[in-house]
Amino acid sequence: MNYLEKYNEWLNDPAISEEDKEDLRNIKNNEKEIEDRFYKDLEFGTAGLRGVIGIGTNRMNKYTVTKATQGLANYIVKKNGQERGVAIAYDSRRMSQEFSEETALCLNANGIKTYRFDSLRPTPELSFAVRQLGCIAGIVITASHNPPEYNGYKVYWEDGAQIVEPTDKEIINEVNAITDLSTIKTMSKKEAEEKGLYNKIGKEIDDKYIDTLKKLVVNQDAINKMQKDIKIVYTPLHGTGNIPVQRILKEIGFENVYVVPEQEKPDGEFPTVSYPNPEDPKAFTLALELAKRVNADIVLANDPDADRLGVYVKDTKTGEYIQFNGNMTGNLLAEYILSQKKANGTLPANGAVIKTIVSSNLTDAIAKEYNVKLFSTLTGFKNIAKIIRGFEENNNEYECLYSYEESYGCIIGTHARDKDGIVAVMTLCEAAAYYKMNGMTLWDQMNNMYRKYGYYKEKQFSITLKGAEGAEQIKKMMDDLRNNPPSEIGKYKVISVGDYNSQVIHNNETGKETSTNLPKSNVLYYELEDDAWCCVRPSGTEPKIKFYMGVKENSMEEAEKELQNIENSMKKYAE
């Protein structure tokens, strides 16, 4: 069925409200808009269902949300998971509260218990709640750091992680089997409550979550000594992080926490930022102004669902604030946690650190220094969670101490199975206290790490190509790279090419082929000489193709120069 046929089907479908049909009639003369809304159905990617809010099969609306929910419900019923129930959370975005309510009532109508948070909560707390409540699944309504016109729907399974193979495909098959919107079930909230199906959760889970995070502090003494001296500026970017961040920092002892007042309250319009992404320097404009006024040591920003963290730290030599990218933050935390555990005698013999394949090779050097096992996996925190689950299923062969990915997400320990921006705030503030106690800023410590391990530098760029035409262009780029693999990128020879779609790594020097030992994924990875690398993949959540790259050199100037050369080389493939 083409997009025009789908459009007309919705216009004539009795399950579509008259109000929504009127919205569709208003675009009857705009074929491009019709195509964009109906050329495909929203699909699960690395972070679930995500799209622009509106009416159509390629939009986030009550029909696409409840269709996904009905498919999930059918799957849960087949697994006899109705009594275990589903935990549900939502963020501050447009329609998040409404979508979460529709989701709960659809599940309830299928005889499935729900535990819905009484107000907005961070994504990591949802992951934590699934495990605490023994639910079979969890759902959070969020589009993370996307612009305000987006919303999304993330599904978690019983281990508190986002769904992975084969569960994701099995659920999607159930969703795709729903072709008649009138078969989607719902019921009134009153009836659902009377039957004990619709349950609210809140303070009890909050308390358990905060108590669990407090146990992850590795040097309380440093906090106690520096709690009056460290100045912290924080912004939740109009999202869910404000209450839990203020609470955890207060309870572990920090006294000088300044929240950006203009961005403190939840607001799905994100009025002070065009793009609520802590990777974007523009998102820090107000926070940096406040930092300069109060002379802050560290400036922190969560994205709206508080699973990611952006960081600026003060350089006392220049007085300026320096942005840390996800790799810098990730590696600084890895070094801090492992060094502190070694110092206090709690570093286990079977310790492990996990990263994604597009994250920094500096992590490999840190893991080697502290004699912990390093695991690498595909992009997406659900793949990290899969490795942690494997540890548990294998009689706790390894103890996961820390995991991160370059896209500004990490978790200390295993209390949740997704990125946790709240625990990241807590531990970075703790690290700032420790290093200040020793006469250093976080920027000083980062430079110490470069001198110790080498000057690792990474970056990524992406190209946005929207709609059906853009999807075809992205496919062509990936096909061209597969069919014509480069032998050199920048000044570096390509040692091997990993095609994660065919799950084969081809060594250019020996001709030998080995398995990636990872699930099938549309990713190309180039191992270069001298510990340099490059990777290309389409985004799983946005209409983008992403290029990642990293180098190791003897100085930061040399690293930046060679990284730029790699970027210039890769941009030729995107022309």
> In 134-219, where does DSSP find H-type helix?
167-176, 189-194, 203-214
Question: Per the structure block, which two tokens stand in for 551?
Answer: 């180098």
Q: Which of 203, 93, 193 is nearest to 142 (CA)?
A: 93
CA distance 381 to 162: 8
Rounded to the nearest 5 degrees, what angle is found at the Cα of 556, between the Cα atoms of 552 and 558?
Answer: 70
Q: What are phi and psi of 547, to 5 degrees?
A: -120, 125
Q: Report DSSP letters for 498-513, one per residue.
A: EETTTTEEEETTT--E
End-to-end CA distance of the chain: 32
Q: What is the DSSP letter of 531?
A: G
Question: Per the structure block, which two tokens stand in for 508?
Answer: 């250019």
CA distance 484 to 208: 53
- Write the CB contacts of 510 (distance below 8 Å, at least 6 apart in sequence): none
- Note if 144 is an active site residue: yes
Question: Per the structure block, which two tokens stand in for 86?
Answer: 């589903």
Q: What is the DSSP letter of 305?
A: T
Q: Are 42 and 50 in contact (CB under 8 A)?
A: yes
Residue 178: Cβ within 10 Å count: 15
Q: Are 550 and 360 in contact (CB under 8 A)?
A: yes
Question: Per the structure block, which two tokens stand in for 570?
Answer: 């890769």
Catalytic residue among 92, 144, 407, 496: 144
Q: Are 61 and 162 in contact (CB under 8 A)?
A: no
CA distance 183 to 43: 20
> In 229-380, where does DSSP find H-type helix?
242-252, 285-294, 326-343, 362-369
Q: Buried b vs exposed e over 100-118: b needs ≥16 C-beta within 10 Å?
A: bbbbbbbbbbbebbbbbbe
Please name the amino acid found at residue 81. G
The continuous run of DSSP H or E covering 101 comes out as helix 96-109
Q: What is the DSSP letter of 530?
A: G
Q: What are phi and psi of 410, to 5 degrees?
A: -155, 170
Q: Are 460 and 547 in contact (CB under 8 A)?
A: yes
Question: Per the structure block, which two tokens stand in for 133?
Answer: 């409540």
Q: Are 261 and 242 in contact (CB under 8 A)?
A: no
Catalytic residues: 144
